[in-house]
Amino acid sequence: MSSPQCVRDVQRLTGRLAALNRFLSQSASKALPFFKVLKKADKFSWTEEYQQAFEQMKEYLHHLPTLTSPRSGDKLYLYLSATEEAVSAMLIREEGTQMSVYYVSRVLRGSETRYTQAEKLVLALAIELGKYDLSYEPRTAIKTQAFADFLAELTFSEVKEPTLALAEPQRWILHVDGSSNSEGSGADLLFENPQGERCSYALRCNFTTFNNEIEYETVIAGLQLVHRLGARRILINSDSQLVMCQIPGEYKAREEVMQRYLSKIHQLTAHFESFEIQRISRSQNKRADALSRLAFTSFSDLNKTILVEVLAESDYLEEIVCPVYPGDTWMGLLIRFIDQGELPEDRVEVRKLQRKTAWYALWDNILYKRSYLDP
Protein backbone atom coordinates (compact mmCIF):
# COMPACT_ATOMS: atom_id res chain seq x y z
CA MET A 1 0.00 0.00 0.00
CA SER A 2 1.54 3.29 -1.14
CA SER A 3 1.21 6.62 0.62
CA PRO A 4 -1.73 8.88 -0.39
CA GLN A 5 -0.89 11.46 -3.05
CA CYS A 6 -4.08 13.51 -2.92
CA VAL A 7 -7.21 14.14 -0.88
CA ARG A 8 -9.06 11.47 -2.84
CA ASP A 9 -6.51 8.85 -1.74
CA VAL A 10 -6.93 9.87 1.90
CA GLN A 11 -10.71 9.54 1.57
CA ARG A 12 -10.30 6.00 0.24
CA LEU A 13 -7.97 5.19 3.14
CA THR A 14 -10.37 6.46 5.81
CA GLY A 15 -13.24 4.59 4.16
CA ARG A 16 -11.34 1.32 4.31
CA LEU A 17 -10.43 1.92 7.95
CA ALA A 18 -14.08 2.63 8.78
CA ALA A 19 -15.05 -0.71 7.21
CA LEU A 20 -12.48 -2.45 9.43
CA ASN A 21 -13.49 -0.55 12.55
CA ARG A 22 -14.72 -3.57 14.52
CA PHE A 23 -11.47 -5.44 13.82
CA LEU A 24 -9.09 -2.63 14.83
CA SER A 25 -8.25 -1.72 18.39
CA GLN A 26 -8.26 2.06 18.98
CA SER A 27 -9.17 2.60 15.31
CA ALA A 28 -10.35 6.19 15.88
CA SER A 29 -7.04 7.19 17.45
CA LYS A 30 -5.08 5.49 14.66
CA ALA A 31 -7.12 7.15 11.90
CA LEU A 32 -7.24 10.60 13.52
CA PRO A 33 -4.19 11.99 11.64
CA PHE A 34 -5.85 11.12 8.31
CA PHE A 35 -9.06 12.93 9.26
CA LYS A 36 -6.97 16.00 10.06
CA VAL A 37 -5.68 15.90 6.48
CA LEU A 38 -9.27 15.91 5.18
CA LYS A 39 -10.05 19.03 7.21
CA LYS A 40 -7.56 20.86 4.99
CA ALA A 41 -9.22 19.68 1.77
CA ASP A 42 -8.46 22.96 -0.03
CA LYS A 43 -4.73 22.31 0.28
CA PHE A 44 -3.35 18.78 0.42
CA SER A 45 -0.32 18.43 2.70
CA TRP A 46 1.22 15.09 3.62
CA THR A 47 3.72 15.73 6.41
CA GLU A 48 6.19 13.45 8.15
CA GLU A 49 3.73 13.09 11.06
CA TYR A 50 1.05 11.70 8.73
CA GLN A 51 3.55 9.40 7.03
CA GLN A 52 4.62 8.00 10.40
CA ALA A 53 0.98 7.34 11.35
CA PHE A 54 0.48 5.66 7.95
CA GLU A 55 3.47 3.35 8.50
CA GLN A 56 2.25 2.45 11.99
CA MET A 57 -1.18 1.63 10.59
CA LYS A 58 0.32 -0.67 7.94
CA GLU A 59 2.42 -2.43 10.57
CA TYR A 60 -0.66 -2.96 12.74
CA LEU A 61 -2.67 -4.36 9.82
CA HIS A 62 -0.01 -7.03 9.32
CA HIS A 63 -0.60 -8.31 12.88
CA LEU A 64 -4.35 -8.09 13.36
CA PRO A 65 -5.67 -9.93 16.45
CA THR A 66 -7.95 -12.91 15.91
CA LEU A 67 -11.56 -12.21 16.85
CA THR A 68 -13.94 -14.88 18.11
CA SER A 69 -17.72 -15.14 18.05
CA PRO A 70 -19.55 -15.23 21.39
CA ARG A 71 -21.91 -18.09 22.14
CA SER A 72 -25.25 -17.91 23.89
CA GLY A 73 -24.75 -17.68 27.64
CA ASP A 74 -21.13 -16.52 27.47
CA LYS A 75 -20.03 -13.96 30.04
CA LEU A 76 -18.57 -10.95 28.22
CA TYR A 77 -16.20 -8.33 29.62
CA LEU A 78 -16.21 -4.73 28.43
CA TYR A 79 -13.02 -2.67 28.80
CA LEU A 80 -13.14 1.08 28.28
CA SER A 81 -10.40 3.53 27.35
CA ALA A 82 -10.24 7.26 26.73
CA THR A 83 -7.48 9.34 25.14
CA GLU A 84 -7.37 13.07 24.56
CA GLU A 85 -9.28 12.89 21.27
CA ALA A 86 -11.05 9.52 21.14
CA VAL A 87 -12.87 6.92 23.21
CA SER A 88 -12.72 3.16 22.64
CA ALA A 89 -14.07 -0.08 24.02
CA MET A 90 -13.04 -3.72 23.76
CA LEU A 91 -15.32 -6.73 24.25
CA ILE A 92 -13.71 -9.94 25.55
CA ARG A 93 -14.89 -13.47 26.30
CA GLU A 94 -13.12 -16.13 28.31
CA GLU A 95 -12.56 -19.77 27.39
CA GLY A 96 -9.45 -20.78 29.25
CA THR A 97 -7.90 -17.52 28.09
CA GLN A 98 -9.24 -14.10 27.17
CA MET A 99 -10.21 -13.67 23.51
CA SER A 100 -11.24 -10.52 21.68
CA VAL A 101 -14.79 -10.34 20.35
CA TYR A 102 -15.37 -6.78 19.18
CA TYR A 103 -13.76 -3.34 19.04
CA VAL A 104 -15.51 0.00 18.85
CA SER A 105 -13.97 3.46 18.70
CA ARG A 106 -15.11 7.03 18.10
CA VAL A 107 -13.43 10.41 17.71
CA LEU A 108 -14.50 13.08 20.21
CA ARG A 109 -16.19 16.14 18.73
CA GLY A 110 -16.67 19.69 19.93
CA SER A 111 -17.23 20.01 23.66
CA GLU A 112 -16.57 16.28 24.11
CA THR A 113 -12.83 16.96 23.80
CA ARG A 114 -13.05 19.05 27.00
CA TYR A 115 -14.54 16.22 29.06
CA THR A 116 -12.60 14.91 32.04
CA GLN A 117 -11.14 11.42 31.86
CA ALA A 118 -14.05 10.00 33.86
CA GLU A 119 -16.62 11.71 31.63
CA LYS A 120 -14.96 10.27 28.55
CA LEU A 121 -15.20 6.78 30.01
CA VAL A 122 -18.89 7.32 30.73
CA LEU A 123 -19.34 8.44 27.14
CA ALA A 124 -17.61 5.26 25.94
CA LEU A 125 -19.90 3.12 28.06
CA ALA A 126 -23.00 4.67 26.45
CA ILE A 127 -26.43 5.07 28.01
CA GLU A 128 -27.99 2.31 25.91
CA LEU A 129 -26.04 -0.36 27.81
CA GLY A 130 -28.19 0.26 30.88
CA LYS A 131 -30.93 -2.05 29.60
CA TYR A 132 -28.61 -5.07 29.56
CA ASP A 133 -27.63 -7.38 32.41
CA LEU A 134 -24.30 -5.82 33.34
CA SER A 135 -22.06 -6.28 36.38
CA TYR A 136 -18.97 -4.26 37.25
CA GLU A 137 -15.75 -5.87 38.45
CA PRO A 138 -12.17 -4.60 38.92
CA ARG A 139 -9.70 -5.68 36.24
CA THR A 140 -7.58 -8.69 37.21
CA ALA A 141 -4.41 -10.01 35.63
CA ILE A 142 -3.84 -9.57 31.89
CA LYS A 143 -4.22 -12.96 30.24
CA THR A 144 -3.97 -12.21 26.54
CA GLN A 145 -1.63 -10.28 24.27
CA ALA A 146 -4.53 -8.53 22.52
CA PHE A 147 -5.67 -7.07 25.83
CA ALA A 148 -2.11 -6.05 26.71
CA ASP A 149 -1.80 -4.24 23.36
CA PHE A 150 -5.16 -2.55 23.97
CA LEU A 151 -3.94 -1.15 27.31
CA ALA A 152 -0.52 -0.24 25.97
CA GLU A 153 -2.09 2.01 23.36
CA LEU A 154 -3.51 4.21 26.14
CA THR A 155 -0.06 5.56 27.02
CA PHE A 156 0.09 9.27 26.23
CA SER A 157 3.06 10.45 24.22
CA GLU A 158 3.23 13.78 26.07
CA VAL A 159 2.59 14.71 29.66
CA LYS A 160 -0.06 17.39 29.75
CA GLU A 161 -0.36 20.12 32.32
CA PRO A 162 -2.42 19.04 35.34
CA THR A 163 -6.14 19.37 34.78
CA LEU A 164 -8.50 20.99 37.25
CA ALA A 165 -9.24 17.59 38.82
CA LEU A 166 -5.54 17.08 39.57
CA ALA A 167 -4.78 20.67 40.54
CA GLU A 168 -3.85 21.78 44.01
CA PRO A 169 -6.90 21.42 46.28
CA GLN A 170 -8.76 24.67 46.84
CA ARG A 171 -9.42 25.90 50.32
CA TRP A 172 -12.57 25.96 52.37
CA ILE A 173 -13.72 29.25 53.93
CA LEU A 174 -15.15 29.23 57.45
CA HIS A 175 -16.88 32.23 59.07
CA VAL A 176 -17.15 31.89 62.85
CA ASP A 177 -18.78 34.03 65.51
CA GLY A 178 -19.79 33.44 69.12
CA SER A 179 -21.91 35.37 71.58
CA SER A 180 -22.39 35.03 75.32
CA ASN A 181 -24.64 36.77 77.85
CA SER A 182 -26.70 36.02 80.95
CA GLU A 183 -29.18 33.94 78.92
CA GLY A 184 -26.56 31.56 77.59
CA SER A 185 -23.92 31.10 74.91
CA GLY A 186 -24.30 30.46 71.21
CA ALA A 187 -22.13 30.28 68.11
CA ASP A 188 -22.54 29.93 64.38
CA LEU A 189 -20.34 28.51 61.66
CA LEU A 190 -20.81 29.36 58.00
CA PHE A 191 -19.04 26.94 55.65
CA GLU A 192 -18.16 27.60 52.02
CA ASN A 193 -16.60 24.75 50.07
CA PRO A 194 -14.35 25.23 46.99
CA GLN A 195 -17.42 24.90 44.72
CA GLY A 196 -19.07 27.91 46.41
CA GLU A 197 -21.76 25.91 48.23
CA ARG A 198 -22.65 27.26 51.67
CA CYS A 199 -24.20 25.78 54.79
CA SER A 200 -24.75 26.88 58.38
CA TYR A 201 -24.12 25.08 61.64
CA ALA A 202 -25.14 26.46 65.05
CA LEU A 203 -23.68 25.69 68.46
CA ARG A 204 -25.41 26.12 71.81
CA CYS A 205 -23.49 25.86 75.09
CA ASN A 206 -25.34 24.85 78.24
CA PHE A 207 -22.47 25.91 80.47
CA THR A 208 -21.14 29.29 81.56
CA THR A 209 -18.63 30.82 79.15
CA PHE A 210 -17.17 34.22 78.37
CA ASN A 211 -17.14 35.75 74.90
CA ASN A 212 -13.54 34.74 74.18
CA GLU A 213 -14.17 31.18 75.34
CA ILE A 214 -17.22 30.74 73.10
CA GLU A 215 -15.15 32.08 70.18
CA TYR A 216 -12.59 29.34 70.82
CA GLU A 217 -15.33 26.70 71.11
CA THR A 218 -16.63 27.85 67.73
CA VAL A 219 -13.23 27.65 66.03
CA ILE A 220 -12.60 24.17 67.46
CA ALA A 221 -16.03 22.91 66.36
CA GLY A 222 -15.46 24.34 62.88
CA LEU A 223 -12.04 22.71 62.50
CA GLN A 224 -13.42 19.35 63.57
CA LEU A 225 -16.30 19.55 61.10
CA VAL A 226 -14.29 20.57 58.03
CA HIS A 227 -11.71 17.89 58.83
CA ARG A 228 -14.46 15.25 58.80
CA LEU A 229 -15.70 16.67 55.49
CA GLY A 230 -12.27 16.05 53.97
CA ALA A 231 -10.98 19.63 53.79
CA ARG A 232 -7.21 19.99 53.42
CA ARG A 233 -6.85 23.76 53.11
CA ILE A 234 -8.87 26.18 55.22
CA LEU A 235 -9.29 29.92 55.80
CA ILE A 236 -11.03 31.10 58.98
CA ASN A 237 -12.68 34.54 59.18
CA SER A 238 -13.60 36.00 62.56
CA ASP A 239 -14.24 39.43 64.07
CA SER A 240 -12.61 38.54 67.41
CA GLN A 241 -9.28 40.38 67.63
CA LEU A 242 -8.04 38.49 70.69
CA VAL A 243 -8.71 35.02 69.30
CA MET A 244 -7.37 35.83 65.82
CA CYS A 245 -4.14 37.19 67.33
CA GLN A 246 -3.61 34.48 69.95
CA ILE A 247 -3.87 31.54 67.53
CA PRO A 248 -0.89 32.58 65.33
CA GLY A 249 1.07 33.68 68.41
CA GLU A 250 0.89 37.46 67.98
CA TYR A 251 -0.68 37.71 71.44
CA LYS A 252 0.40 35.49 74.32
CA ALA A 253 -2.30 33.55 76.17
CA ARG A 254 -1.63 33.94 79.90
CA GLU A 255 -4.73 32.28 81.34
CA GLU A 256 -4.66 28.51 81.70
CA VAL A 257 -8.09 28.23 80.08
CA MET A 258 -6.91 30.00 76.92
CA GLN A 259 -3.74 27.92 76.83
CA ARG A 260 -5.80 24.71 76.79
CA TYR A 261 -7.97 26.03 73.99
CA LEU A 262 -4.88 27.00 71.98
CA SER A 263 -3.32 23.58 72.53
CA LYS A 264 -6.44 21.88 71.15
CA ILE A 265 -6.54 24.19 68.12
CA HIS A 266 -2.88 23.51 67.30
CA GLN A 267 -3.58 19.77 67.46
CA LEU A 268 -6.43 20.17 64.97
CA THR A 269 -4.59 22.46 62.55
CA ALA A 270 -1.83 19.85 62.23
CA HIS A 271 -4.29 17.76 60.16
CA PHE A 272 -4.48 20.41 57.40
CA GLU A 273 -2.03 21.13 54.59
CA SER A 274 -2.75 24.84 54.83
CA PHE A 275 -4.35 26.84 57.65
CA GLU A 276 -4.92 30.60 57.56
CA ILE A 277 -6.86 32.99 59.75
CA GLN A 278 -7.87 36.56 59.13
CA ARG A 279 -9.77 39.15 61.09
CA ILE A 280 -12.74 40.80 59.43
CA SER A 281 -15.00 43.60 60.59
CA ARG A 282 -18.25 42.86 62.38
CA SER A 283 -20.15 44.32 59.44
CA GLN A 284 -18.64 41.61 57.20
CA ASN A 285 -19.70 38.94 59.69
CA LYS A 286 -23.31 39.99 60.19
CA ARG A 287 -24.95 36.69 59.28
CA ALA A 288 -22.76 34.60 61.56
CA ASP A 289 -23.23 37.11 64.38
CA ALA A 290 -27.02 37.08 64.00
CA LEU A 291 -27.23 33.29 63.96
CA SER A 292 -24.98 32.98 66.99
CA ARG A 293 -27.43 35.13 68.96
CA LEU A 294 -30.39 33.13 67.66
CA ALA A 295 -28.71 29.92 68.82
CA PHE A 296 -29.56 30.73 72.43
CA THR A 297 -32.49 33.19 72.11
CA SER A 298 -34.69 31.25 69.63
CA PHE A 299 -33.34 27.72 69.99
CA SER A 300 -36.62 25.88 69.35
CA ASP A 301 -37.28 27.66 66.04
CA LEU A 302 -33.69 27.62 64.84
CA ASN A 303 -33.39 23.87 65.38
CA LYS A 304 -36.05 23.29 62.68
CA THR A 305 -34.09 25.02 59.90
CA ILE A 306 -30.40 24.79 60.85
CA LEU A 307 -28.44 21.92 62.34
CA VAL A 308 -27.79 22.80 65.99
CA GLU A 309 -25.36 21.02 68.30
CA VAL A 310 -25.80 21.35 72.07
CA LEU A 311 -22.72 21.15 74.28
CA ALA A 312 -23.48 20.17 77.87
CA GLU A 313 -19.91 20.94 78.95
CA SER A 314 -16.57 21.83 77.46
CA ASP A 315 -14.40 18.86 76.53
CA TYR A 316 -11.20 20.89 76.61
CA LEU A 317 -11.24 22.42 80.11
CA GLU A 318 -11.58 19.26 82.19
CA GLU A 319 -8.62 17.53 83.77
CA ILE A 320 -7.11 14.92 81.46
CA VAL A 321 -7.64 11.41 82.79
CA CYS A 322 -5.93 8.44 81.19
CA PRO A 323 -7.93 5.24 81.69
CA VAL A 324 -5.86 2.22 82.66
CA TYR A 325 -7.10 -1.18 81.48
CA PRO A 326 -5.91 -4.43 83.04
CA GLY A 327 -5.45 -5.90 79.56
CA ASP A 328 -5.97 -5.27 75.85
CA THR A 329 -9.53 -5.15 74.50
CA TRP A 330 -10.90 -6.70 71.31
CA MET A 331 -11.30 -3.21 69.86
CA GLY A 332 -7.62 -2.47 70.37
CA LEU A 333 -6.66 -5.58 68.40
CA LEU A 334 -8.92 -4.56 65.51
CA ILE A 335 -7.71 -0.97 65.45
CA ARG A 336 -4.05 -1.95 65.40
CA PHE A 337 -4.67 -4.53 62.66
CA ILE A 338 -6.60 -2.10 60.42
CA ASP A 339 -4.30 0.86 61.06
CA GLN A 340 -0.88 -0.78 61.35
CA GLY A 341 -1.36 -4.35 60.09
CA GLU A 342 -0.31 -5.76 63.47
CA LEU A 343 -1.22 -9.44 63.92
CA PRO A 344 -1.23 -11.73 66.96
CA GLU A 345 1.23 -14.62 67.06
CA ASP A 346 -1.43 -17.36 67.18
CA ARG A 347 -2.48 -18.32 63.62
CA VAL A 348 -5.98 -19.27 64.76
CA GLU A 349 -6.42 -15.83 66.29
CA VAL A 350 -5.10 -14.27 63.09
CA ARG A 351 -7.82 -15.95 61.00
CA LYS A 352 -10.50 -14.93 63.50
CA LEU A 353 -9.25 -11.35 63.44
CA GLN A 354 -9.19 -11.22 59.64
CA ARG A 355 -12.79 -12.47 59.43
CA LYS A 356 -13.95 -9.99 62.05
CA THR A 357 -12.17 -7.07 60.37
CA ALA A 358 -14.45 -7.33 57.33
CA TRP A 359 -17.33 -6.05 59.49
CA TYR A 360 -15.52 -2.96 60.79
CA ALA A 361 -14.01 0.24 59.42
CA LEU A 362 -11.64 2.78 60.95
CA TRP A 363 -12.46 6.42 60.32
CA ASP A 364 -10.62 9.29 62.00
CA ASN A 365 -9.19 6.84 64.57
CA ILE A 366 -12.71 5.72 65.54
CA LEU A 367 -13.86 2.13 65.00
CA TYR A 368 -17.23 1.73 63.26
CA LYS A 369 -19.23 -1.39 62.49
CA ARG A 370 -20.34 -1.70 58.88
CA SER A 371 -24.03 -2.02 58.05
CA TYR A 372 -25.49 -4.41 55.49
CA LEU A 373 -26.40 -1.59 53.10
CA ASP A 374 -23.19 0.43 53.25
CA PRO A 375 -20.02 -0.45 51.29
Which of 279, 68, 89, 48 shows the shortest CA–CA distance to 177? 279
For 172-311, CATH number?
3.30.420.10
Instruction: Please identify, in words, the CATH class of the domain defined by 76-152.
Output: alpha beta
Which of 231, 234, 266 shows the shortest CA–CA distance to 248? 266
- Are 311 and 217 within 8 A, CB to CB? yes
Which of 2, 1, 15, 4 shows the shortest CA–CA distance to 44? 4
Cα separation, 336 vs 360, whole angstroms: 12
Cα separation, 181 vs 176, whole angstroms: 17
Give the pLDDT score at 299: 45
- Are 337 and 367 within 8 A, CB to CB? no
CA 121 distance to own-chain centroid: 16
| Strand ranges of the sheet holding 76-82, from the earlier edge strand across to the other edge | 76-82, 86-94, 98-107
Per-residue pLDDT of the chain (375 residues; tens, 9 = 90+): 677 777 778 778 777 777 766 667 666 667 777 777 777 666 777 778 778 777 877 777 777 767 778 788 788 787 777 777 777 777 778 777 777 777 777 777 666 666 666 655 655 564 345 445 555 555 555 555 555 555 555 444 444 444 434 445 578 888 877 666 666 666 677 878 888 777 777 777 666 666 777 788 888 888 888 888 888 888 888 877 877 788 888 888 888 888 888 888 888 888 888 888 887 776 665 554 554 454 444 444 444 445 656 665 665 555 555 555 545 677 888 888 888 778 788 888 888 887 887 788 877 677 888 765 454
- Are 88 and 105 within 8 A, CB to CB? yes
- Are 60 and 103 within 8 A, CB to CB? no
CA 12 distance to own-chain centroid: 45
Domains in the chain: boundaries: 7-61, 76-152, 172-311, 330-369
Cα separation, 260 vs 352, whole angstroms: 42
CA 230 distance to own-chain centroid: 10
Answer yes or no: same fold for 76-152 and 172-311: no
Q: Has this prediction a pTM greater than 0.75?
A: no
Half-sphere exposure of 142 (CA within 13 A, CB side): 10
Decide: helix, strand or coil at residue 276.
strand
Q: What number of other Cβ atoms are within 10 A of residue 161's Cβ?
A: 6
Give the pLDDT score at 101: 78
Give the pLDDT score at 300: 46
Q: CA-CA distances (angstroms) from residue 375 to 130, 133, 354, 371, 372? A: 22, 22, 17, 8, 8
179, β-bridge pairs:
186
Q: What does the angle CA 190 – CA 191 – CA 196 come to, to the nearest 5 degrees?
A: 125
Q: CA-CA distances (angstroms) from residue 295 to 240, 283, 300? A: 18, 19, 9
